[in-house]
């Protein structure tokens, strides 16, 4: 507060009584601003700030129902996590899912957006229909698939049997060979964030396409030489969002597989959730997995922020 007083008196050439009024106004504004910000800050400090610090310290500590042994554990929690087979399994499953899901979802969302950008008939109908998965709460969409893919009464197996392909019918979400593919397919329902892609496409000036058309380009050339270069930033942003979303894979596992069959579909996020709910003796372990995961996500975000910055320059 004192520095702002000095600033005002130093820079203004107004007569003294006005100076005092400006200063009083600034003080009043600053006090009012803090009044407005304070309730939010308190809640955030209590439920985000304090937990972040607490869980970070917990990764170096032991936790039992009776007591917290601050800094008793040294790095042993990290050693335990990194040497743990469950963690290794969850890490490789999560990374594999990310590697498969992200390219397909980015490609599909771009495809849908380009189709919607180019089509001139029934545009709003197509948009509304493709928007439906966004409107449906995610858990309900997933339950729907649990049942469409059901072994006995699911419509997919039924159609296969009707088509004489009964040997292909299987327990899609319960079989080791098919569960991964089924999870990827189910989470691709809705074709990813095509809305963001479309917003990016609509931002490209129309003259570019008109000028190209005068020169007699094909749609494929338009896509290659106008759309793709113009969409570079949107593509980087959407890819980043999808990577983070894929790394945080949780709700589909919770609703559809529960980490099974044979614990093969435990994502990192789900592993932490599972351990937290196994009781207080697992709290230190769960926090450590959580922080390793956080390091992964933050590292990736920093990388893309850096990429975006350098590309813009």
Partner 1 sequence: MLKRFRAYDSRYQFMLVVALTVLCFITIAPFIWVILTAFKPNSEIYTTDLHLLPQNWTLEQFGEVVQKGDKLPRYVWNTMIYSVTTISAVVLLSSMAGYALALLRFKGAQIIINSVLLILSIPWIILVVPILIFEFRLRIWNTQIGLILPYIALFLPMAIWIMRGAFLGMPSELGEAARVDGANEFTVFSRVYLPMAKGGVATVILLTFIDIWNEVLLAASLVINPQIANINTGLRILADEGQSFAFGVLSAAILLAMIPTFIVFIVLQRYYVRGISEGALAGF
- By CB under 8 A, name the one of 9, 118, 170, 239 that touches partner 1: 118
The candidate with the shortest Cα–Cα distance to 193, out of 77, 303, 106, 97, is 106
212 binds partner 1 per the rule CB under 8 A: no
User: Which of 73, 110, 113, 195 lies at the binding interface for partner 1 (CB under 8 A)?
Assistant: 195
6, 176, 199, 211: which one contacts partner 1 (CB under 8 A)? 199
CB atoms within 10 A of CB 217: 16
Q: What minimum distance in Å lies between the beta carbon of 8 and partner 1?
A: 11
Q: How far is CA 81 from CA 52, 90, 291, 304, in A?
A: 19, 11, 11, 27
Using the structure block, give the residue that is written with the tokens 């926090």: 287
Nearest-approach distance from CB 176 to partner 1, in angstroms: 22
Of 129 and 165, CB closest to partner 1: 129
Please identify, among the stretches 9-17, 77-85, 86-94, 138-146, the one whose residues bind partner 1 according to the rule CB under 8 A: 138-146
167 binds partner 1 (CB under 8 A): no
Closest CA to 194 of 270, 259, 141, 117: 117
Under the binding rule (CB under 8 A), the answer on residue 155 touching partner 1 is yes
**By the rule CB under 8 A, 306 interacts with partner 1:** no
Candidates 91-99, 175-183, 222-230, 291-299: pick the segment binding partner 1 (CB under 8 A).
291-299
CA–CA distance, 276 with 88 (Å, rounded to integer) = 18
17/120 with CB nearer partner 1: 120
Q: Decide: is 226 part of the binding site for partner 1 (CB under 8 A).
A: no
Q: Which is nearer to partner 1, 146 or 171 (CB)?
A: 146
> Which listed residue (18, 32, 72, 88) binds partner 1 by CB under 8 A?
32
Tokens of 54: 């607490």
> 279: phi > 0 → left, psi -120 to 50 → alpha, else beta; which?
left
Least Cα distance to 248 among 38, 95, 52, 42 occurs for 95
21 belongs to the binding site for partner 1 (CB under 8 A): no
144 is an interface residue for partner 1 by CB under 8 A:
yes
* Total site size for partner 1, rule CB under 8 A: 93
Alpha-carbon torsion 16, 20, 25, 29, what sign?
positive
72 binds partner 1, rule: CB under 8 A: no
Give CA–CA dist 68/253, Å, rounded.
31
Query: Does 37 engage in binding with partner 1 (CB under 8 A)?
Result: yes
Question: CB of residue 145 vs partner 1: minimum separation in angstroms?
Answer: 6
Query: Beta-carbon neighbour count of residue 313 at 10 Å?
Result: 5
Give the integer Cα–Cα distance in Å for 267 and 259.
Answer: 7
75 touches partner 1 by CB under 8 A: no
């Amino acid at each position: 507060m004192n520095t702002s007083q000095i600033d005002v008196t130093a820079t203004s050439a107004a007569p003294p009584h006005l100076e005092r009024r400006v200063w009083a106004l600034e003080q009043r504004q600053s006090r009012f601003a803090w009044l407005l910000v304070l309730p939010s800050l308190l809640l955030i400090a209590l439920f985000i700030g304090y937990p972040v610090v607490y869980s970070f310290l917990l990764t170096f500590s032991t936790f039992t129902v009776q007591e917290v042994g601050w800094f008793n554990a040294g790095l042993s929690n990290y050693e335990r996590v990194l040497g743990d087979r469950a963690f290794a399994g969850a890490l490789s499953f999560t990374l594999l899912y990310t590697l498969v899901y992200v390219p397909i979802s980015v490609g599909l969302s771009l495809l849908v957006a380009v189709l919607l950008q180019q089509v001139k008939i029934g545009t709003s109908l197509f948009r509304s229909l493709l928007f439906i998965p966004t409107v449906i709460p995610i858990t309900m969409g997933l339950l729907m698939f649990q049942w469409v893919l059901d072994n006995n009464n699911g419509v997919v197996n039924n159609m296969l049997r009707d088509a004489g392909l009964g040997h292909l019918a299987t327990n899609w979400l319960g079989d080791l060979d098919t569960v991964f593919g089924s999870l990827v397919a189910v989470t691709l329902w809705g074709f990813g964030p095509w809305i963001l892609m479309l917003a990016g496409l609509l931002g490209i000036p129309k003259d570019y396409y008109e000028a190209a058309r005068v020169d007699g380009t094909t749609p494929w050339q338009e896509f290659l030489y106008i759309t793709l270069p113009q969409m570079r930033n949107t593509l980087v942003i959407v890819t980043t969002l999808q990577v983070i979303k894929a790394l945080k894979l949780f709700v589909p596992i919770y609703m559809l597989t529960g980490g099974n069959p044979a614990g093969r579909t435990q994502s990192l996020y789900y592993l932490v959730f599972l351990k937290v709910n196994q009781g207080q003796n697992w709290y230190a372990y769960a926090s450590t997995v959580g922080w390793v995961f956080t390091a992964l996500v933050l590292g990736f975000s920093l990388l893309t922020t850096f990429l975006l910055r350098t590309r813009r320059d």
